[in-house]
Chain A
Amino acid sequence: MTDDEPLREPRSDAGAADLHAPTFGAGRDRHDDQGVVADSEFRSYYGRPVLKPPVWEWKVPAYLFTGGVSAGAALLSAGADLTGRPALCRAGRLGGFGALLASSYLLIADLGRPERFHHMLRVAKPSSPMSVGTWILVAYGPGSGLAAMTELLPGSLRAMLPGRLPARVGRLAGLSSAAVAPALASYTAVLLSQTAVPAWHEARRELPFLFTGSAAASGAGLGMLLAPVHEAGPARRLAALGAGAELVAARLIERRPALETTAYTRGRAHRLRRASEYLTLAGALAAATVARRSRPAAAAAGLALLAGSALQRFGTFDAGVASTKDPAYVVVPQRARLNARDGQHRHGDQAE
Chain B
Amino acid sequence: MTDEHSLYGPLEDPAADAGHQEHPPRVGFFTDTSVCIGCKACEVACKEWNDVPEDGLDLLGMSFDNTGMLGASSWRHVAFIEQERPLGRQDPGLSDLPTGPSAAEHTAEVVADGLRDAPRGGGELGTEPVDLGFPSFELPGAGTGSETRTDFRWLMSSDVCKHCTHAGCLDVCPTGALFRTEFGTVVVQPDICNGCGYCVSGCPYGVIDRRPDDGRAWKCTLCHDRLRGGLEPACAKACPTDSIQFGPLDELRERADRRLEQLHEAGVGEARLYGRDPEDGVGGDGAFFLLLDEPEVYGLPPDPVVPTRDLPSMWKHAAVAASALLAATAAVFIREGRR
Q: Which residues of A contact B (CB under 8 A)?
A: 1, 3, 6-13, 16-18, 21-28, 31, 34, 39, 42-56, 71, 75-76, 79-80, 82-83, 110-114, 116-117, 119-120, 122-123, 125, 127-131, 134, 181-183, 185-187, 189-190, 193-197, 201, 204-205, 207-209, 211-212, 215-216, 233-235, 237-238, 241-242, 245, 324-327, 330-331, 334-335, 337-338
Contact = CB atoms under 8 A, between A and B. Distances in A.
B203 interface: yes
A44 B332 contact: no
B197 A112 contact: yes
B304 A334 contact: yes
A337 B303 contact: yes
A17 B174 contact: no
A79 B175 contact: no
B202 A25 contact: no
A241 B299 contact: no
B301 A233 contact: no
B293 interface: yes
B302 A334 contact: yes
Contact of B113 (A25, A71, A207, A212): A25
Given A49-B123, A194-B307, A334 B301 contact: yes
A58 to B, nearest CB: 14
Contacts of A8: 277
A238 B332 contact: yes
A78 B194 CA distance: 35
Contact of A238 (B112, B299, B328): B328
A71 B322 CA distance: 11
Given A6-B260, A18-B85, A194-B172, A338 B302 contact: yes
Q: Which 3 A-B pairs have the closest CB atoms?
A: A25-B112, A112-B195, A112-B215
B273 A7 contact: yes
B296 A48 contact: no
Nearest to A197: B201
Nearest to B265: A3
Interface of B: 7, 62, 68-69, 71, 79, 81-85, 102, 104-105, 108-113, 115-116, 120-123, 168, 171-177, 192-198, 200-211, 214-217, 257, 260-261, 264, 269-270, 272-274, 276-277, 293-304, 307-308, 310-311, 313-315, 317-326, 328-333, 335-337
A196 B329 contact: no
Given A48-B69, A189-B318, A335-B302, A112 B332 contact: no
Given A11-B272, A123-B174, A113 B215 contact: yes
A185 to B, nearest CB: 6
Contacts of B304: 196, 334
A14 B57 CA distance: 38
B75 to A, nearest CB: 14
A201 B109 contact: no
A52 B174 CA distance: 19
B122 A122 contact: no
The winner among B202, B208, B335 for most chain A CB atoms within 10 A is B202
A196 B203 CA distance: 6
B141 to A, nearest CB: 17
B322 A112 contact: no
11 contacts: A7-B273, A45-B296, A48-B69, A48-B299, A49-B120, A76-B329, A113-B216, A119-B176, A120-B194, A185-B322, A237-B331
A47 B294 contact: no
Given A10-B269, A23-B83, A181-B325, 14 more contacts: A12-B269, A23-B297, A45-B299, A49-B206, A52-B201, A112-B211, A119-B175, A123-B176, A125-B174, A195-B202, A204-B313, A212-B322, A325-B122, A335-B303
B325 A1 contact: no
Given A21-B84, A52-B209, A234-B333, A204 B314 contact: yes
B329 A11 contact: no
B314 to A, nearest CB: 5
A25 B83 contact: no
Nearest to B127: A48
A114 B115 CA distance: 31
The winner among A110, A117, A212 for most chain B CB atoms within 10 A is A212
The winner among B7, B108, B311 for most chain A CB atoms within 10 A is B108
A338 B303 contact: yes
A79 B334 CA distance: 9
Contact of B68 (A48, A125, A241, A242): A48
Contacts of A117: 194
B106 to A, nearest CB: 9
A233 B336 contact: yes
B123 A52 contact: yes
B172 A195 contact: yes
Contacts of B318: 186-187, 189-190, 208
A212 B171 CA distance: 25
A54 B201 contact: yes
Given A49-B206, A113-B195, A204-B314, A326 B326 contact: no
